[in-house]
Amino acid sequence: MTSDVRVPRRKLSDTAADQLSARIQAGEYPVGTKLPAEKELAQLFGVGRSSMREAVRTLEAAGYLESTHGVGVFVRNDKPQSAGPLDLTLGGGYTMSDLFEVRIALEGTAAELAAARLTDHHRELLVTFLTAAGDPEVTHEEFVRLDARFHRQIAEASGNPLLQYMWES
């Protein structure tokens, strides 16, 4: 007997991210610790380097890790972020990959609408954020803050209040 019910397959990167975050939470990689090289982590978790790279990006977005170009990846936090919009979204069983795919789809539409409806005020703000983010002296934390403000401004410039709300959530 066959069934029409499909069980969604998880990406290897999501499984690796779950396993790595569990090890971080268990104290195997304490806050401040530099993680092993990508190749070593990929072997440890039994995935390819591209899947491991995506897992690390997922945990960076979740606030666990911080990557410093040319230096390495460090554990920044050993606890999940406090309950917020991201946790509520992922609480439905969705993965970070699911979230990023939807974000990519929404951002394309938001950018298209913003380009058609851009006011001088929005253009000025976007240029300000881009200029500040392009400063070679900008810290990682400040860059992330500016990036978020830039994307929020694009959603606002789209003129669609539902897109703005979705961006905020």
The CATH number that domain 85-168 falls under is 1.20.120.530
Domain locations along the chain:
12-75, 85-168
pLDDT tens for 6-40 read 545 667 888 888 899 889 988 999 989 999 999 99
| Reported pTM | 0.50
**Fold: same for 12-75 and 85-168:** no
55: left (phi over 0), alpha (psi -120 to 50) or beta: alpha
- The CATH number, out of the four listed (3.30.465.10, 1.10.530.10, 1.10.10.10, 3.40.50.1860), of the domain defined by the range 12-75: 1.10.10.10
Which residues does residue 72 pair with via DSSP β-bridges, in sequence order? 68
pLDDT tens for 85-141 read 444 455 556 666 777 788 788 888 899 999 999 999 999 988 998 898 888 888 888
